[in-house]
Amino acid sequence: MPPWSDFEPFIVSGLALGGVYALSGVGLVVLYRATGVLYLAFGAVGAMGALIAWSLGRENVPGWLTWLVCIAAAAVITLGYGLIFGPALAKRDPLVKAVATIGLTLILYGLMDLLWTSSGGQARSESLPTDNGGFSIGQIQVDWTQVIALAAGVVITVGTGVFLRYTKLGTAMRAMANDREITATLGVPVRKVEAAAWLGCGVLAGVAGLLLADLAALDATTLTFLVISSLAAVLIARLRSITLTFAAAILIGLLHDLLTPITALSNYQNMTPFVLAAAGLLVMSRRRVMTQSREEA
């Protein structure tokens, strides 16, 4: 077992990673609750935005503008998908809706590989100016991007909680999570509320893509499939609670990074989200009630 000081830097990076997972997870949960769609293209959309931002950055477009474009691109793609395929698949099983977003993932992934060739191409990197500044707590160096990542996770979680609790739109979303038909009957403009959820999720995907491109790597494959890690957090929260999603995401990020100094386990650190999610799901599915309803497991 390595000394404690070896672990210290990884607490910070783990928290930052967990923050982004939390932010992604909250986006996924809100969209799932409002529309019944588990948006598996979350990572791909973020990656697309980040790559567009990178290309713009090379054309000497100012940084802040590229970030905005990144977020906007992710939001537009997500909203577009939601407007076209949301209503078409509204009455289908959640599984079908989720698999359909795999279709979008493949389209985006193919496009990204085509336009920003990964094999043989030069390694790309996106670095935010916040990487340079920072401060230190004791021995640990903390840069502002890491602070922003964790803060974004906290702010988005709390903000979404407040939004769902106290605003009209949030209430409508919660109503739709319970029953889409009854909500529509009560005069809630279901399509508009869904569109809002799609847009929100898209914005979060863009933010997550931008942060992960900096924290992890600017690479289509990595970013596209990093969503699986946030998915793990969402699964532990059973696609329901955003507080639990946040806790699970932080736990996954922390555990993942804290395994790095332990040489016996560091090869397996990428298993963290999978193992936690599998264990979480299995433990929580012990008492299964068989129903005919859509809301399963």
Closer CB to another protein, 8 or 113, in the complex: 113
**Site size for another protein (CB under 8 A):** 51
Closer CB to another protein, 163 or 274, in the complex: 274
DSSP states of 16-74 as a string?
Answer: HHHHHHHHHHHHHHHHHHHHS---TTHHHHHHHHHHHHHHHHHTT--HHHHHHHHHHHH
Quick one: which of 92, 164, 243, 251 contacts another protein (CB under 8 A)? 92
Which H or E element spans position 184?
Answer: helix 180-185
Q: Write the DSSP symbol of residue 285.
A: T
Q: Pick the piece of the chain touching another protein (CB under 8 A) from 19-27, 68-76, 96-104, 169-177.
A: 96-104
End-to-end Cα distance, the chain? 40
Q: Write the DSSP symbol of residue 294.
A: S
Quick one: which of 24, 224, 230, 245 contacts another protein (CB under 8 A)? 224
Applying CB under 8 A, does 181 fall inside the site for another protein?
no
Question: Residue 5 burial by CB count (10 A; 0-12/13-18/19+): exposed, middle or buried?
Answer: exposed
In the complex, minimum distance from the CB of residue 3 to another protein, in angstroms, rounded to a whole number = 25
Phi, psi at 140, each rounded to 5°: -90, 130
Applying CB under 8 A, does 231 fall inside the site for another protein?
yes
Cβ neighbours around 41 below 10 Å, total: 28
Closer CB to another protein, 221 or 260, in the complex: 221
Q: Pick the piece of the chain touching another protein (CB under 8 A) from 134-142, 157-165, 240-248, 280-288.
A: 280-288
In the complex, minimum distance from the CB of residue 5 to another protein, in angstroms, rounded to a whole number = 26
Which residues, numbered 21-60, are part of the site for another protein (CB under 8 A)? 38
Applying CB under 8 A, does 228 fall inside the site for another protein?
yes
Q: What is the dihedral of CA 225, 227, 228, 233, to 10 degrees?
A: 160
Quick one: which of 9, 113, 195, 247 contacts another protein (CB under 8 A)? 113
Applying CB under 8 A, does 135 fall inside the site for another protein?
no
Closer CB to another protein, 33 or 188, in the complex: 33
- How far is Cα 41 from Cα 122, in angstroms, rounded to an integer? 25
Applying CB under 8 A, does 247 fall inside the site for another protein?
no
Quick one: which of 12, 26, 30, 100 contacts another protein (CB under 8 A)? 100
Cβ neighbours around 111 below 10 Å, total: 14
- How far is Cα 127 from Cα 215, in angstroms, rounded to an integer? 8
The token duo for 23 is 């932010």
Site for another protein, rule CB under 8 A: 38, 85, 88-89, 91-96, 98-100, 102-111, 113-114, 221, 224-225, 228, 231-232, 235, 267-268, 270-271, 273-275, 277-278, 281-282, 285-286, 288, 290-292, 296-297
